[in-house]
Structure 1
Amino acid sequence: MAHIDYFFATLSPYAYLAGTELEDIAAKHGATITYKPLDILALFARTGGTPPGERHPSRQAYRAQELTRHAKKRGVPFNLKPAHWPTNMAPSSYAVIAAQNAGGGDMGKLCHAILRSCWADEKDVADDAVIRACLTEAGFDPALADSGLLVGAETYARNLDEAVDKGAFGAPFYVVDTGQNFWGQDRLADLDQHLAGEL
């Protein structure tokens, strides 16, 4: 049975556009997933990336076109300039970590609810009320938003170190225990084929 380490940021538009396809692929192949939210800006700094706002205008313009196209292809609502972006990723990331440790809910649904809150629903994912609503929607105890903060902070930092060690440099980034890495929601079909033994 394959295992996937899923490195992502709770503010990543590309992670939002991935939807819950990762979970569908994992279920299809009997693979397991560990969710590893991280500080994407810190990952960029450590791996030679540039934050979106600091990129050349031509790169920013292309990113805007690409995101809009992907959203249309996926058939999902998408706001290119959400009201609460950027915001503090730590609270929502800690909640994901606490939920994974607690179990009992749907992790894919939780991550997508948080991402959707930012990119489609104009909500601030640093707001405890928004985080609690996402936890509830995914079948978790909303009180997890207020628990395990120390463990969350330690795991969040460790996820960043592990991402760098495993070759991740963006989000979403999928690391399979077969030694194969896949970057971006537009590589999920490749991940599917790999798990099927075709790639």
Structure 2
Amino acid sequence: MAHIDYFFSTLSPYTYLAGNRLEELAAAHGASVTYKPIDIIALFPRTGGTPPKDRAPGRVAYRLQDLRRAAARASMPINLKPAHFPTNAAPSSYAIIAAQLSGGDVGPLVQAFLRAVWAEEKDIAADDVVRECLGNCGFDPTLADSGLLTGAETYAGNLEEAVNRGVFGSPFYITDGDERFWGHDRLDDLDAHLAGRL
């Protein structure tokens, strides 16, 4: 069975725009997925990147145009300047880590947090939003209050693993054999790789 390590940030608009395509192609190919939320703001300076707020004006303007076009292509709503961005991604990331350890389908939970930021004007650092996303996706809302130490350790470990494995953005997919795919617009390539065409 093929396996995908999925490195992502719950703050990333491009991860939001990937929707559920990863889960669909993983199911089509019988591949398993390990969800690895990362601190993207800490990742950038360690891998040659620049946080959006520190980018040159031309790059900032292009990013907004690109996000608008990508959202239109995907028929997904997006607020290009969300009320709660950036915010602390740790609470949502800890919840995803706890949910994955408890079993169940984590994909919809990841998408719920991303949708909360980019389409619903919610603060994913807020306890009530974290509990709401957990409950709406079939998880015990009290997972938000449990395993905080494990969540913090795993979240920090995911960042170190990401740096060591060449991850520099979100979403980032690594398959068996160390094939790497960066960006929601590389899911077709990931699909082709899993099918043996790339």
TM-score by length of 2: 0.99
Superposition map of 1:117-196 within 5 A: 117-196=116-195
Query: How much does 1:165 deviate?
Result: 1.0
1:66-92 superposed Cα distances (whole Å, 9 cap, x missing partner): 000000000011000001101000000
Structure 1 residues without counterparts, runs of 5 or longer = none
Paired residues for 1:42-121 under 5 Å: 42-103=42-103, 105-121=104-120
Structure 2 gaps, min length 5? none
Shift in Å at residue 162 of structure 1? 0.5
Counterpart-to-counterpart distance in 2, 1:192 and 1:177: 13
Aligned-partner SS, 2:5: strand
Number of residue pairs matched by the alignment: 198
Q: Secondary structure at the match of 1:93?
A: helix
Distance in 1 (CA, whole Å) between partners of 2:110 and 2:48 is 26
Aligned-residue CA RMSD in angstroms? 0.6
Instruction: Look up the SS of the partner of 2:88 in the other structure.
Output: coil
Structure 2 counterpart of 1:66, one-letter code: D
CA distance in 1, matches of 2:188, 2:138: 28
Alignment-mate amino acid for residue 57 of structure 2: P
The one-letter amino acid of 1:132's match is R
Q: Is the 8 A contact 1:2 1:178 kept in 2?
A: no
Fraction of identical pairs, as percent? 67
Q: Give me the whole-angstrom Cα distance separating, in 2, the residues matched to 1:13 and 1:65.
A: 13
Letter in 1 for 2:112: A
- In structure 1, what is the Cα distance between the partners aligned to 2:135 and 2:186? 30
> Does structure 1 residue 39 correspond to structure 2 residue 49?
no
**1:106 to partner: Cα distance:** 2.0
Alpha-carbon distance, 1:178 to partner: 2.3
2:81 aligned counterpart, secondary structure: coil
Q: Describe the superposition over 1:126-149 as per-residue Cα deviations: whole angstroms up to 9, x where unpaired.
A: 011111111112111111011100
Q: Which amino acid aligns with 1:118?
A: V
Aligned-partner residue type, residue 52 of structure 1: P
Is the Cα contact below 8 Å between 1:2 and 1:32 reproduced in 2?
yes
SS in 2 for 1:140: coil
Cα separation, 2, equivalents of 1:78 and 1:171: 17
Find the aligned partners of 1:83 and 1:185 in 2 and give their Cα distance.
Answer: 23
Name 1:8's counterpart in structure 2.
8
